[in-house]
Amino acid sequence: MPVDSSPKIIKNEEQLAQLSASQRIRYRLVGADCRYHANDNISAFIKDGEMEELKAEVQARMQQVLEALVIDTDSDHNTHDTAQRVAKMFLDEVFAGRYTPMPSVTEFPNFSRLNELMIVGPITVRSACSHHLCPIMGRVWIGILPNEHSNLIGLSKYARICEWIMSRPQIQEEAVTMLANELQDRVKPDGLAIVMEADHFCMHWRGVKDTEAKMINSVMRGAFLKDANLRREFLSLLDRKSS
Ligand SMILES: [Zn+2]
């Protein structure tokens, strides 16, 4: 059965209600002129109960993928529930950062006027590449140079925000930029630095099958861009030895 995902002209609420959950959500996104790339968060467009519908829809289509792969899911007990497991894994776990709102983060003013370099990390990163949906496993370090007008957030919140951004199909360069934008908006530091180092399983499992390759990239903003000493201090304090 071919999957019809072409846009439809909807004339009334009744017609909208007849669409699948993914079609309804897409209809709202298009109507709001809102981007819905793999690494975008679309939680604001999902209504109560629709996640369960989405899961059922992904399960049904995943089952079609297994059929197209000519796997006998009826007699093969190992793959009997695979479509359901994969749907649940995508929506509730590995891509949850697309479907759930940003974790609540309390910001508090910088009462003590901290203005020293602060480093958070390594934060464990579990993500997936948008190209192959293969895992990306790695670590992130965040450097913050606050000023008296900065908002501070609890240490564990850096990991929560990082997890929220990484648990989507991502491209490493875009992931670190997204994380930097989010932290810049909330913390408003004088300087912000992020380094991410990750294994891309599409390099190990397929393609060149290079098991040693790691991708490292960084974002430097504000004081970290202007001040080479600060940048050096940050980079020298990263504990990357155990990788
Ligand atoms: Zn890939």
For 222-242, write each residue's pLDDT tens digit.
999 999 999 999 999 997 765
Tokens 């992904």, residue located: 58
Q: How far is the CA of 174 from the centre of ligand 1 (A)?
A: 14
Q: How far is the CA of 137 from the centre of ligand 1 (A)?
A: 12
Q: Is 188 left (phi over 0), alpha (psi -120 to 50) or beta?
A: left
How many Å apart are CA 69 and CA 36, to the nearest integer? Answer: 28
Q: How far is the CA of 136 from the centre of ligand 1 (A)?
A: 8
Q: How far is the CA of 118 from the centre of ligand 1 (A)?
A: 33
Q: How far is the CA of 170 from the centre of ligand 1 (A)?
A: 9
How many Å apart are CA 116 and CA 10, to the nearest integer? Answer: 56
- For residue 6, the model assigns a pLDDT of 58
Residues near ion ligand 1 (CB < 5 Å) are 129, 131-132, 202
Q: What are 232's two structure tokens?
A: 């050096």
pLDDT digits (tens, 9 = 90+) for 141-191: 999 999 888 888 988 999 999 999 999 999 999 999 999 999 999 999 999
CB 114 within 8 A of CB 152: yes
Confidence category of residue 98, pLDDT binned at 50, 70, 90: very high
Name the CATH topology of 107-237. GTP Cyclohydrolase I, domain 2 (3.30.1130)
Confidence category of residue 3, pLDDT binned at 50, 70, 90: low
How many Å apart are CA 155 and CA 119, to the nearest integer? Answer: 10
- Alpha helix positions (H), 19-170: 21-31, 50-68, 82-88, 96-99, 155-166
Q: What are 25's two structure tokens?
A: 């959500």
* Domain residue extents for the chain: 13-99, 107-237
What does the CA dihedral 188, 191, 196, 197 come to, rounded to 10 degrees? -160
Write the CA distances from 150 to 131, 177, 218, integer angstroms.
37, 20, 22
Which residues, other chains included, contact 97 with Cβ-Cβ below 8 Å and sequence gap of 6+? Answer: 41, 163, 164, 165, 166, 167, 168
Q: How far is the CA of 200 from the centre of ligand 1 (A)?
A: 7
pLDDT digits (tens, 9 = 90+) for 182-217: 999 999 999 999 999 999 998 888 887 777 778 999
Q: How far is the CA of 214 from the centre of ligand 1 (A)?
A: 13
SS3 content of the chain, % helix, strand, coil (to 5): 40, 20, 40
How many Å apart are CA 79 and CA 70, to the nearest integer? Answer: 12
**What's the whole-number average pLDDT of the chain?**
91
Name the CATH topology of 13-99. GTP Cyclohydrolase I; Chain A, domain 1 (1.10.286)
Q: How far is the CA of 241 from the centre of ligand 1 (A)?
A: 26
Q: How far is the CA of 207 from the centre of ligand 1 (A)?
A: 9
Q: How far is the CA of 87 from the centre of ligand 1 (A)?
A: 20
Backbone angles phi, psi at 8, to 5 degrees: -120, 155
Host H or E run for residue 237: helix 228-237
Backbone angles phi, psi at 191, to 5 degrees: -145, 145
